[in-house]
Amino acid sequence: MLPPLRRRTTLVGLGTALLVGLTTTSPITTATAQETVFAPQLVSIDTPTREARQLVESLGLDTAGAGPGTTDVVLHTPADLDVLGAAGLGYDVRIPDLVARSVEINQQNAAYAAATDRSPLPSGRDAYRTLDDYDTDMAALALHHRDLVKTFTLPHRSLDGRLIQGIEIGRDVNGPDTGLPVFLMMGLHHAREWPSGEMTMEFAYDLVLNYGRDQRITDLVNRSRIVIVPVVNPDGFDRSITDGALLDGRVVDDGGTVSILGTPGAAYMRKNCRVADGVDTPDGTCRLATATTPGAFGVGVDLNRNYGAYWGGPGASDQFVNPTYRGATPFSEPESQNIRELMSGRQVTTMITNHTFSDLILRPGGVSPDQVAPSQGVPIGEAADEEAMAALGAAMAAQNGYTSQRAYELYDTTGSTDDWSYNTTGGFAFTWEIGTEFHPPFPEVVDEYLGAGEYAGKGNREAYLIALENAVDPQTHSVLTGRAPAGATLRLQKSVATPTWEGAIQDTLSTTMTVGANGRYTWHVNPSTRPVVMDRQVETLSGAPVQQQSWTGTTAPLQSTDQEFVVTQDADLLEVTLDWPTPDDFDLEVHRRGADGSLTPVGSSGNSIGEKERVLLQDVTAGTYVLRVVNFASVAPSWTLDAATYQAGTTTVPGLVENWTLTCERGGQVLQRVPVVIDRGQQLRVDLTACGRR
């Protein structure tokens, strides 16, 4: 465990809230007196260090978002509050009563809709869509723009038996695939994140309605295929939006009798509707299962921890009731399997998966580069395309004021959509965390999309267009050109081992295009070598320590001892280790002393019983550091403490070079097969005319 950190705010465990009914399906119940109940809360926890963030992840609380030095969680029950209190972390209450906040939002939404004939959004909508609304809107776009839009159904139904729909946008969209680059946007992996679907759907409307009117959009659509899946998790979203709409704020005062809205039910549901691993429960089971657990907290798999890359590692739980439960196996869920197959069958050069909230644009990697996955045995290192993805992230963030950063700078995450997409397919991938609430008042959705204040006229819309420009830019992917028989099918494929945290899974990428009537082809594809097996840059210690000091001492159980370490010059790394003779539990904190004598926590280590403690700080500035030894639960009071600063160097871990297999097929027969090695930004001519002579 981590030792207690400074607590700044004490929450009231049982607060007086709007009376909450006993069912999740009826909006009104009655009670004869005001009752005191626990109100679901959104709190912001102090997490100044990576170790503190990892502690929050380990608590099994419902992680909601994060910012610089903080992690937001939803407290569903008094037991959640007790867990947070026992951890000793400081926190602020952001929203003390999510039920009351939902009522307030619903009232604001109703007023906005009543006062608005047509919003400034491309679709003109003035309220959140339901699941049926999404399907209706996609069908309508395809119906009224037949040569530009087509609908498709993903191959796997949801656990509750729902079809999962998407649309494809492009010039002559019903014709054969001619090798254009693919841009993919998704929403609603997490059920309660309603704006993530709205942003995805509005961008589709924007492209379709402005095609032929706006030269920039027309050019981008002509040069690409855009794939839109606004609702990845239809079961969870339907439960969330339905229950959320029940919170209407109706209160009836009948001579002292107070009438109550419904409970929040699944309004703040995160995961899908998996009730039991490996069991395909009857359709409709989700509603019954989620009705028995606060916030549907104990049901489901976190789809954004169920993808294959590094599945089963840090930031994903193996406990079913945990909000970040990763599932029984990689891609165990039909919803994540749908996206896997969708992306494996197309050359997606840029992908955005929308989420809420925190005003962030996150890019791979999901895990700190010094982490070592047992499946690989070497540090994961920085993403191979860090420089290019950082530049794109910064360009997008300049349009909406978000913070662009590596995903691991928020907290370690494995099994995420963008890590699998980038590492397995090679296409650039980003996770967006939109806004400051799960589902804020609808006018805020309008502002997020179109921009407000200093970002008016830009916003997410402009950032998405920049991402689409990246998708069509040949410098950011690879291009195959050449000659082949008119009408022939070209296939690009490979079967690869994708590393999980402790093993590997098999992924097969297989995409096709049709050669045009002139016998020439241009195919926009991703590089042949996957980022996960490329050379990687790893920061390593360079030579002997610049400074070094050791201490020994004793500390009684439940007590702590401080030692000062004065760093005389800036260093790349500060390593502090704590050892003791018995297999029980000490903990370690590192603080920096300010000019006024105050202590600021900069690192901590609270491993499981028997595991020794280590803190590694990067880019350390000169000053006084306080090293705190905490005897959390050790019967032997003696310990040894070591501290050292180092300059660091960069080491390259050699990787592999992979090839695509390019085949030319006619009449279902493979007539020519060519191995292709191609890098990002490269154009390669491959002559397939022999295919026509066989």
The strand pairing partners of 491, in sequence order, are 512, 663
Question: Does 459 lie in the same domain as 376?
Answer: yes
| pLDDT over 80 at 24, yes or no | no
Q: The domain spanning residue 404 has which CATH number? A: 3.40.630.10
Token couple for 533: 């097996």
Q: Is 166 within a domain?
A: yes
* Contact call for residues 232 and 338 (beta carbons, < 8 A): yes
The strand pairing partners of 66, in sequence order, are 71
Question: Does 402 lie in the same domain as 467?
Answer: yes
Interval 524-538: pLDDT, tens: 999 999 999 998 777
What's the CA gap between 229 and 220, in Å, rounded? 19
Residue 264: predicted pLDDT = 60
Interval 613-648: pLDDT, tens: 888 787 899 999 999 999 877 888 899 999 999 887
Question: Does 224 lie in the same domain as 363?
Answer: yes
Q: Strand pairing of 225-229 and 182-186? A: parallel
Interval 95-112: pLDDT, tens: 998 888 888 999 999 999
Cis peptide before 357 (omega within 30 of 0): yes
Q: Strand pairing of 29-31 and 70-75? A: unpaired
Q: Strand pairing of 348-355 and 182-186? A: parallel
Interval 43-88: pLDDT, tens: 999 888 777 777 887 788 888 877 778 888 889 888 888 888 888 8
What's the CA gap between 494 and 478, in Å, rounded? 16
* Contact call for residues 638 and 557 (beta carbons, < 8 A): no
Mean per-residue pLDDT, 257-282: 75
Question: Does 342 lie in the same domain as 222?
Answer: yes
**More confident position, 9 or 70:** 70
| pLDDT over 70 at 3, yes or no | no
| pLDDT over 50 at 295, yes or no | yes
| pLDDT over 50 at 277, yes or no | yes
What's the CA gap between 388 and 162, in Å, rounded? 38
Question: Does 483 lie in the same domain as 470?
Answer: no
Residue 57: predicted pLDDT = 77
Interval 374-407: pLDDT, tens: 998 888 988 999 999 999 999 999 999 999 999 9
Query: pTM for the complete prediction?
Result: 0.82
| pLDDT over 80 at 307, yes or no | yes
Among all chains, which residue has been given the structure tokens 């047992």? Answer: 374
| pLDDT over 60 at 608, yes or no | no
Query: Which of 192, 158, 189, 423 minimizes the C-alpha distance to 302?
Result: 189
Q: Is 518 within a domain?
A: yes
**More confident position, 561 or 260:** 561
Query: Which of 684, 414, 642 minimizes the C-alpha distance to 524?
Result: 684
**More confident position, 6 or 348:** 348
DSSP H or E run through 575? strand 571-579
Per-position b or e across 76-86, b if 16+ CB within 10 A of its CB: beeebbeebee
Question: Which whole-number Å values give the CA distances from 502 to 256, 275, 336, in the listed order?
Answer: 61, 26, 20
Interval 311-345: pLDDT, tens: 999 989 998 888 899 999 999 999 999 999 999 99
Question: Does 283 lie in the same domain as 340?
Answer: no
Residue 536: predicted pLDDT = 79
* Contact call for residues 627 and 644 (beta carbons, < 8 A): no
**Residue 482 belongs to what domain range?**
478-532+665-693
Q: Is 387 a catalytic residue?
A: no
What total number of domains does the chain contain? 4
Residue 256: predicted pLDDT = 40
What's the CA gap between 187 and 199, in Å, rounded? 8
Annotated catalytic residue: which of 57, 382, 433, 448? 433
| pLDDT over 80 at 488, yes or no | yes
Question: Does 548 lie in the same domain as 434?
Answer: no
DSSP string, 247-273: ------EETTEEEE----TTTT--S--
Token couple for 213: 């009117």
Which residues lie closer than 8 Å to 81 by C-beta, 6 or more apart?
A: 11, 13, 38, 41, 75
- pLDDT band (50, 70, 90) for residue 451: very high
Residue 540: predicted pLDDT = 66
Residue 100: predicted pLDDT = 86
Question: Does 469 lie in the same domain as 484?
Answer: no
Q: The domain spanning residue 672 has which CATH number? A: 2.60.40
Q: The domain spanning residue 626 has which CATH number? A: 2.60.120.380
Residue 248: predicted pLDDT = 54
How far the first Cα of the chain sits from its last, in Å, is 68
- pLDDT band (50, 70, 90) for residue 675: very high
Q: Is 326 within a domain?
A: yes
How much is the mean pLDDT over the chain? 87
Residue 62: predicted pLDDT = 86
